[in-house]
Structure 1
Amino acid sequence: MISTWVSVIAMLAAFVNGDRKDAVTQPCATVQTSSSVVALGSPVTATCVIRDDCPLATGQAVRIEWRLNDRSVPDSFVANESSRISQVVLQSFNDTRAVLTCCTQGPSAVILGGVEIRAGYPPSAPENLYCLTNLTTPSTISCRWDPGQRETHLLTKYSLHTHIRDSNENFTYKLLPGKHRYTIPRSDFVFFSEMEIYVKVTNELGETTSDPVVLEPVSAAKFDPPKILSIQAIPRRYGCLTLRWALSQHQTWMQAARLNLEVRMRTTDHGQWSEQITALNRVRATKSVDQCRLLHGTRYISQIRVRYQQSPWSEWSSSQSGVTLESAPTGRLDSWVKTSGDQMHKQRNIHLFWKPSKQFHANSQNVSYVVSLQKGEKGQVCVTVGNYCSFQLPAKAKKVYLSAVNAAGKSTPTEVRIYTPKAHSALLGDIVITPYDDRSLLVRWTGLDSSALTGYVVEWRPLLQTDPSFVGFDIVDRNQSSLIITGSFEPYKPYGISVYPRFKDGIGLPQTANAYARQKAPSMAPKMRIKKTWQSHVELTWDEIPLDQRNGIIQSYSVFYWAQKGPVHVVNAKPDERRVLLKDLNNRLLYDAFMMVSTLGGNYNGSVIHFGVEPFDAVAVVMIAISSCVALSLMVICLAMTCFSKHKRLKMRLWPIVPDPANSSIRKWSSESLQESLRTSDSEEPNPVFLTHLSFLDLHMTMTKEKDDLFLSDPEDTSDLGESICGSPFIPGYSGTNSDSVPYATVICSSPCSSPPSKDCHVYLRSESTQPLLETEEAFTPKCYQIIPSDRMMKREQCFFGPCPNDEVEGEADIVWNEFPFLRALAMNEPHND
């Protein structure tokens, strides 16, 4: 294409500049190169020769310029031999395809001639030649290979060559460009004759071949998966099965050939095939195969595959199963006992778990387990086909015996000791559980440093299952602090895992944690509720997520809330709190909120709720009322304490001592009881006590002296002596009154009333009572009272009630003053004239 373009340009230039007829036939110059196809990076030499009849060179000198595509070649690479010949040397040709032209120099350059040069690499040998024979109809041999690692940038051709050695026949198969596989038809090969196969590749820079493959077509055949006809137990041979098998119907003609066979087997309770594969060489399909050294009474699932000599293995056949002959169980059982109750009770509850040990063989498909108190058949407490049993034992029982039983016999009993739980210290640190893979968990713990420690028991159970048969356990050594537990752990389901320390005399307290084999986001988020609101605070609460909806261990609860067109705030709560407090809220705005629940496997967002804050709510009222009540209570307590500290003074003011009115008559004042009250001791005589001060009750209403002095107006009326005394005009601060409430007076006698009158006057003390005196049974006429000064040296006489007696009747006056010493004491309030 490019060569044609160069020729056309050269002819057009000749037609414009000179003879049109000659220009149409041939160009003005000829460009010659060492090769039009060169290796990339190799040097290229080109020569431009101008023809003598070229119109551009007639009668004038021509200067030649070289161009590679549209780029000028530097002068250093050009060597001009004459005006009609020019040569250029390219030290390294790095273009895969380019046009080299020679042109005239000048402002309007004219192409005189040119040549196309292509560059690339020689082909590299094909690699990984592989041929496979297909035995199905129609039978063929398919071969494929990998091209060379380096691109040639040139047109490369592939061909497949075969050579049958026995018949000396050769076959060549040409391939389309870019094809790297070919299928040889059945007519061009013989199954049991060796043949040589190789691939040849060529391009303009050279050719090469792959390494040859020598094979017998049948040895390169991949057989169809065989089939197992039957698996049966061999009579009187324990642990042996015989397999009958055959090739597929398309390879039945190979029945007589000797083939290689592999057999793999597994028990029904194992999900993975055994790594040990039985290989059998040069067997015939018509002959059965025996498999021995198997467990007794165990169902096995088997698969087989075949090949011929070194051919590829066929795919595994479909599975078939068979059961070996039964025998009595052998080996011991691993057990785990949990006890409730103590020695004080007559019966203890026993929960016994067991599982086969590594040495145990059930040797049967139908196995039951017997727990008994003795090694024999007597004293059976439990018979079950499971791996768990619960029963009661007397408190004195120390051990039981566990045996496996099938139709062929009974295993040797395993002794199980019954330990009472001990209150030993728990593990020194919490257990840590991490997923190990999809079917196992890694449990790590901190061991105890105790000489009585014998080991640990690791127990696990699905938390969503209550059936004890789902409980699993492992027993580990005392020096071990981690364990990989393997089982059918379901993803997103919770499991409880406990580690118990075992001591010589019992089982210690466990450490327990929950774990997940795989986690994801929870299936739901709890619904938030507003518990209480007050002023600018809101408390939100929620219920715990159901265990079957968590899908992992809850890491946190995050509450997002915001006001309208406001920023979003976040409050985080710990997994065990289930409450948050939103603070500093505006009571004039409405808020939206939702909860995000997080696990290690993801997050789940709950629904949005709307709420607002009241400026003054019931909670605030209650708080204010409580505060007020507390303050009032404190005031009452303080007042009560003050009152009790001043008990006697307040009692006299608020509750004065009121004497019995029935005994308030003046007639009874000089009783013996008064004398006794003045007696300091049994041997002493009553001490005379004189009144030195009287206090009177001021009355609000004033009256005239005539109305107040009742004794003057009615000498026979003596029912209210106190009032008469208070109303006396001789009393300082007197103000008359009609009130019926006047103070009593208490009289302290110096001698009994029945004794003869003494020279000393009676002493009267004022009572604190404000109640009126009752009328006495006998009215009496008051007499003159004698005023006794404090120094007892002077004697003055004054009459308060009625006319005073004459001085000559001195003896009678003395008698009157002795009988009424109280009235004599009232004279003390009168100022002395001395």
Structure 2
Amino acid sequence: MISTSMSVIVVLVALVNGARNEDDIQPCAKIQTSSSVVHLGSPVTASCVIREDCPLVIGRAVHILWRLGDRFLPSSPVANESGRVSEVVIPSFNHTREFLTCCVRTSTYQVLEGVEIRAGYPPEAPQNLSCQTNLTTPNTLTCSWDPGQQETLLDTEYTLHTEIRDSNENHTYELLPGVHRYTIPRYGFVLFSDVKIYVKAVNELGEATSAPIILEPVSSAKFDPPTILKIQAVPKRYGCLKLSWSLSQQQVWMRNLQLNLEVRLTTADSSQRREQPILVNRVRPTRSVDRCRLLHGTQYLAQIRVRYQQSPWSEWSSSQSGVTLESAPTGRLDSWMRVSGDHMNKQHNILLFWKPSKQFRANGQNVSYIVSVKKQPGEDGKVCSTMGNYCTFQLPGGAKKVYLSAVNAAGKSSPTEVRIYLPKARAVISDVTVIPQDDRSLLVQWRSLLSSSLTGFVVEWSPLLQTDLFFTQFELTARNQTLLVITDSFEPYKPYGISVYPRFKDGIGLPQTVNAYSRQKAPSMVPKIQIKKIGKSHVEFTWDEIPLNQRNGIIQNYKVFYCDTKGPISVVNADLEKRRVVLRDLNTVSLYEAFMMVSTFGGSLNGSTIHFEIDSFDTVAVVAIVPVSVIGLFFMVIFIAMTSFSNNKRLKGHFWPAVPDPANSSIKRWTSESTQGSHLSLDNEEPNPMYLSHLSFLDDPVKLSKEDDDPWLSAEDTSDLGESICGSPFIPGYSGSNSDSVPYVTVTFSGPCSSPTPKDPHVYLRSESTQPLLETEESFSPKCYHNIASVGMQSEQRFFGPSHDSVPERVADPGILCDDFPFLRALSLRHTEID
């Protein structure tokens, strides 16, 4: 198949070959078609006739071929003798533009002739022809139209035609291709004469003309915005305003025209708005316009616009304000209250809100409100007076209702009775939800339990970032209504508190409150993560609450992302209320990094990254244990110190030997039983009731023979003395004759501790001591001491031995009573001699 570029070259060669000289310019073949421009998709018929003198076919057999673009078409030769005529039929031509060529086949394909066929659609009649006059200098008339929905695919020419009837002037205006708008200059029309206007479209497949329009150019003029000169109240007519107006300075010359006027009035606070403008027909600019049936004593903003007959409306004029005449307020007020205080003592604090009902009319500019306990408000019964929409007061005792009245300069409204409903601990509302409708409205839904005393609901809302009660709004609903669309100037990304209260016949029930946003986005900040505690394998994070003005929505979750240098990223959800999270199972040798993400319904925001690592030594545990240990040690020291002070003597007996004090010694009885407990007991601080002291022995340098053994040990019968002395447990180390101790001395006491204090001082023989005596050659004999006086006896008693240092004699002083001294009695039984 030959390409398109090659086809062009072959055509040029054939043309060159066909033109042998300047005089011979006839092609070798001629193509005839049914039409070179056809409807898109219609059939096309063509025939090719080769000249007899064409050098390409002289003396050769001819085979004619057809090609459309780069595609060969099937053809059929015409039945004749030469065979140099061929025809082709294209059933449906679906190209907007294409070449049809006639070729012969020799050694190569030779193009003999070609023709271009174009396809499209005839033009549609132009639609929506309209013209508008511009009255500014210079005056012009601009017309525009729609060429139709279907593209012609062919070059189409448009012309605008005008016929002025009064002057029989005709004008034709040619347009550039693709332009469907034309501005007629001022000489082409007359403002107050009718003109016929139409548009014609022409292409190779046909032509079409629009429906003509006949108009007076001034009736199609769009006037400049008019001007309100003055607006004022009509004297002695309540609810009426008078407007004086004029055309612009450029159009004031048409002040005698009868124009149509529209007046748009809105209240200054936009609470009452007239959506539909008021139409005034056939009015001259020199005449004022009265508008009545307006609210009394209300400030209005007025705008006007004009047109002539069916011309376009002008733009709205600038606003001017006016106030109607005042009259006394009419209608009732809707109210809602909160009651607090001491209900037992009937001391009630009232927070009363109100707003105009649909029937209320303030009828004045400066309206104030009076709350009174009397139906006719006066100074004696008045509890509150304000120009706002709420009031706080303490209810006088015994009052069950108050009266609310509106007051302006013209008078007072009829009082609205407001009953005092005390709060009741009844919860019948649940599942309060808020769904944003748009930036100015929210849908509030709730559920309620059935109750026969339920009379309705109160929906209250206020911006949480505003503390002034002025911004508190409310709506009253019926008992069978559980949804409400509230409309207000809700700001996006700002929180609002919405509460639903149930109303009963005898009080107000417990409310349900939720926070809501008309639109949410990501928070403006992320709180800084604070490390509260680091353990051996865990760490605890805390953070502060996001300020309410930076949340931009309801916080859905806090997520903490953390990872070490080797591991993947982990995420944990934090507790919304406690604002804390604990990361567990952490490695002690890794450096971690973490950051927090805070999300609302409107988006998420990531916080800054912090780094931390886990210590192998649990500092927190040590910090917790050390104070406890120190406190325990402190109490232990105190306990030991107190025990030491209370058991001073007991501890002293354990650490130091007990040294009897001679000044506190006594002897009550000299019996064998008394000798067993004569030593001071460590378990009792008081002296032992046994008063016989034991004997101690010292080393004797002179070794006695067997026959001359110690007379204390040679006695055969030692029932008393041996038990009390030789076998005494209070003589450590002494066990018999081979002992290293010798008798030292015996201490006697005058009586027991409980006995009366003797009149004469005690006299002691010699005290028992742990200090060893000096080794001397002196014979073993006790010294001579004075005997103590016996209790209850006046006679003097003497101990064995004289009162001077000498060897004791064998025979005791006959004045000594042996019965009173068991020690001497034992000696006398054995008749032991002491050398």
TM tier, shorter chain?
A: 0.7 to 0.9
For the pair 1:149 / 2:153, whether they are aligned, the reply is: no
The CA deviation at 1:738 is 9.6
Q: Distance in 2 between matches of 1:709 and 1:265?
A: 144
CA distance in 1 between partners of 2:245 and 2:533 (Å): 78
Which of 394, 402, 408 is equivalent to 2:410?
Answer: 408
8 Å contact from structure 1 (residues 715, 781) kept in 2? no
Q: Distance in 2 between matches of 1:297 and 1:581?
A: 67
TM-score when normalising by structure 2: 0.75
Alignment partner, residue 606 of structure 2: 605
Cα distance, 1:349 vs structure 2: 2.1
The farther-off stretch of 338-347 and 257-266 is 338-347
Q: How far 1:709 sits from its partner (Å)?
A: 7.4
**Alpha-carbon shift at residue 714 of structure 1 (Å):** 9.9
- 1:267-304 alpha-carbon deviations (Å, 9 max, x no partner): 11117842232111111121111111111111011111
Q: What amino acid sits opposite 2:530 in the alignment?
A: R
Percent identical among aligned pairs is 63
Bigger drift between 159-168 and 4-13 goes to 4-13
Deviations 1:415-446 (A, max 9, x none): 2222332222x234131112122112221111
In the TM superposition, residue 398 of structure 1 has moved relative to its aligned partner by 1.9
In 1, distance between residues paired with 2:713 and 2:404?
Answer: 119
Q: 2:196 is matched by which residue type in structure 1?
A: E
Question: Counterpart amino acid of 2:102?
Answer: C
Residue 502 (1) aligns with residue 503 (2): yes
Change (3 A) 1:55 1:191: same
Contact 1:342 / 1:420 at 8 angstroms: preserved in 2? no
Instruction: State the alpha-carbon separation in 1 of the partners of residues 742 and 269 from structure 2.
Output: 116
Counterpart mapping for 1:194-593 below 5 A: 194-270=194-270, 273-345=273-345, 347-376=347-376, 377=378, 378-424=380-426, 426-593=427-594
Listed as ranges, the matches of 1:75-114 within 5 Å are 75-76=75-76, 82-114=82-114
- Structure 1 residues 85 and 301: CA distance shift in structure 2, 3 A: same
Q: Is residue 15 of structure 2 the alignment partner of residue 14 of structure 1?
A: no
SS at match of 2:586: coil
Q: Is the 8 A contact 2:429 2:511 kept in 1?
A: no
The answer (yes or no) to whether the contact 2:260–2:283 under 8 Å persists in 1 is yes
Give 1:620-635 correspondences, 5 Å limit.
Answer: 620-622=621-623
Q: CA contact under 8 A between 1:525 and 1:605: conserved in structure 2?
A: yes
Matches of 1:346 and 1:62, distance apart in 2:
126
**Aligned equivalents of 1:442, 1:348: Cα separation in 2:** 34
Does the C-alpha gap of structure 1 residues 206 and 668 become closer, same or farther in structure 2, counting only changes over 3 Å?
same
Which secondary structure state, in structure 2, belongs to the residue aligned with residue 522 of structure 1?
coil
Alpha-carbon distance between aligned partners in 2 of 1:76 and 1:662, rounded to the nearest angstrom: 169
**What amino acid does structure 2 have at the position aligned with 1:415?**
E
2: CA distance, partners of 1:59 / 1:617 = 115
Q: Tell me which amino acid in the other structure corresponds to 1:310.
A: Q
- Report if the CA contact (8 A) 1:536-1:587 is conserved: yes
8 Å contact kept, 2:670–2:821? no
Separation in 2, partners of 1:89, 1:623: 105
Q: CA deviation at 1:409?
A: 0.8
Q: 1:663 & 1:384 partners in 2: Cα distance?
A: 107
Which amino acid counterpart does residue 122 of structure 1 have in structure 2?
A: P
Inter-partner Cα distance in structure 2 for 1:68 and 1:406:
92
Aligned partners of 2:227 and 2:248 also within 8 Å: yes
- 1:26 matched to 2:30: no
Any idea what the Cα deviations from partners look like across 1:703-746, whole Å, max 9, x if unmatched? Answer: x9x9897794897976974975989xxxxxxx999999xxxxxx
In 2 relative to 1, CA 385–172 (structure 1 residues): closer, same or farther, beyond 3 Å?
same
Q: Deviations over 1:655-678 (max 9, x none)?
A: xxxxxx9999687999xxxxxxxx
User: What secondary structure sits across from 1:536 in the alignment?
Assistant: coil
The offset of 1:538, in angstroms, is 0.4
The residue number in structure 2 matching 1:792 is none
| Distance in 2 between residues matched to 1:4 and 1:532, nearest whole Å | 88
Q: Deviations over 1:377-428 (max 9, x none)?
A: 122222211112222233432222221111111111222222332222x234
CA drift of 1:582 comes to 1.0
CA deviation after TM superposition for structure 1 residue 45, in Å:
2.4
Q: 1:190 to 1:615 in 2, by over 3 A?
A: same
- C-alpha distance in 2, partners of 1:204/1:465? 74
Residues of 2 paired with 1:715 and 1:29: CA distance? Answer: 179
Output the amino acid matched with 2:67. Answer: R
3-state secondary structure, aligned to 1:251? helix
Distance 1:707 1:328, change over 3 A: farther
Displacement after TM superposition at 1:490 (Å): 1.7
| Alignment partners' CA distance in 1, 2:668 and 2:489 | 105
Distance 1:58 1:615 in 2: 110
Deviates more, 1:436-445 or 1:33-42: 33-42
Cα pair 2:18 2:26 within 8 Å, conserved: no
Q: State the aligned residue count.
A: 692
Could you say if the C-alpha distance between residues 343 and 51 of structure 1 is closer, same or farther in structure 2, counting changes exceeding 3 Å?
Answer: closer
1:68 and 1:433 mapped to 2: Cα distance? 70
Considering only aligned residues, what root-mean-square deviation do their CA atoms show, in Å?
4.0
The CA distance in 1 between the partners of 2:547 and 2:740, in whole Å, is 89
Distance of 2:407 and 2:272 partners within structure 1: 27
* Structure 1 Cα separation of the partners of residues 106 and 60 of structure 2: 14
**1:33 Cα deviation from its structure 2 partner:** 2.1
What letter corresponds to residue 112 of structure 1 in structure 2?
Answer: L
Matched residues in 1 for 2:519 and 2:223: separation?
Answer: 42
| 1:346–1:122 distance in 2 versus 1, CA, 3 Å | closer
TM-score (norm 1): 0.75
Contact 2:670/2:822 (<8 A) preserved = no
Q: Deviations over 1:153-196 (max 9, x none)?
A: 22211111122334433221111111111111222222233322
Residue-by-residue CA offset, 1:607-661 (whole Å, 9 max, x unaligned): 11111111112222256679999999xxxxxxxxxxxxxxxxxxxxxxxxxxxx9
Consecutive unaligned residues in structure 2, runs of 5 or more: 634-664, 675-705, 731-737, 744-789, 792-818, 831-835
- Cα distance in structure 2, aligned partners of 1:345 and 1:394: 12
Residue 64 of structure 1 aligns with which residue?
Answer: 64
The SS at the match of 2:218 is: helix
* Counterpart mapping for 1:114-193 below 5 A: 114-193=114-193
Matched-pair contact (CA < 8 Å) for 1:267–1:300: yes
Change (3 A) 1:93 1:504: closer
When residues 736 and 471 of structure 1 are mapped into structure 2, their CA distance, relative to the original with a 3 A threshold, is farther
1:634-713 equivalent positions in 2, closer than 5 A: 712=715
Shift of 1:533: 0.4
Counterparts of 2:41 and 2:727, CA distance in 1:
156
- 1:420-473 residue CA offsets vs partner (Å, 9 max, x unmatched): 32222x234131112122112221111231112222221112211222222111
Q: 2:11·2:111 contact (CA, 8 Å) conserved in 1?
A: no
Deviation at 1:237, TM superposition (A): 0.5
